[in-house]
């Protein structure tokens, strides 16, 4: 789920080592838009504490730009956007379901599981290669193979917002990240977002 299309996966293979060299992990890569102007969105975080600063987003953006300028993997114009996963983040790795055990999430599968594809409940960790989730209105914990999960995201709750506030307090960052207007924007609370200039590969 870190990459959705074959093109995304090819880009992820290039981005992963760049991020790792900076002590970061790529949460998700999405190349969106048509052929005239596209947007490459990279969500990343520190390996050590699953957080990221605006400065680290900027460093990753510059490093990826250098690699892409040399390799030219995307034809036409595109914008490179590097951001944190945000508070109500996507869950793209099996590790994520363990890290956020106890928080509410929505899941979708790529096939029918007991008559449905959509699930909502409280994450209960992982068991082997299965995602464990306590579904709303059901007593038993459901186990869903991770490879069947096509989309998953945390639900924005008071508990999740408190976690985000605690992270900000721990790293001593202000709410607005101290950046001039236009350099970064919050997509959701506690989300850093750096967008580079348009690349013209034509």
pTM of this structure: 0.82
Half-sphere exposure of 12 toward its Cβ, with a 13 Å CA cutoff? 18
160: left (phi over 0), alpha (psi -120 to 50) or beta: alpha
Torsion sign (Cα): 81, 57, 64, 10: negative
Summarised one tens digit per residue, pLDDT across range 129-144 is 999 999 998 988 999 9
Which residue(s) pair with 3 in the sheet? 29
Q: How far apart are CA 164 and CA 161, in angstroms?
A: 5
Which has the higher per-residue pLDDT, 127 or 177? 127
CB 146 within 8 A of CB 128: no
Highest mean pLDDT among 105-109, 136-140, 186-190: 105-109
């Amino acid at each position: 789920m870190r990459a959705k299309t074959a093109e995304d996966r090819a880009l992820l293979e290039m981005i992963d080592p760049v991020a790792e060299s900076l002590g970061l992990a790529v949460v998700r890569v999405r190349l969106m838009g048509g052929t005239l102007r596209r947007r490459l969105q990279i969500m990343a975080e520190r390996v050590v504490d699953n957080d990221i600063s605006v400065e680290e987003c900027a460093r990753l953006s510059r490093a990826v730009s250098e690699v892409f300028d040399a390799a030219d993997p995307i034809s036409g114009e595109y914008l490179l956007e590097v951001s944190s996963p945000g508070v109500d983040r996507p869950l793209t790795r099996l590790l994520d379901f363990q890290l956020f055990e106890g928080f509410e999430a929505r899941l979708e599968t790529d096939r029918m599981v007991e008559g449905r594809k959509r699930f909502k409940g409280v994450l209960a960790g992982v068991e082997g290669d299965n995602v464990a989730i306590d579904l709303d209105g059901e007593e038993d914990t459901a186990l869903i193979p991770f490879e069947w999960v096509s989309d998953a995201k945390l639900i924005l709750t008071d508990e999740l917002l408190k976690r985000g506030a605690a992270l900000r307090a721990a790293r001593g960052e202000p709410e607005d990240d101290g950046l001039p207007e236009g350099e970064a924007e919050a997509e959701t609370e506690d989300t850093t977002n750096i967008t580079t200039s348009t690349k013209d590969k034509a």
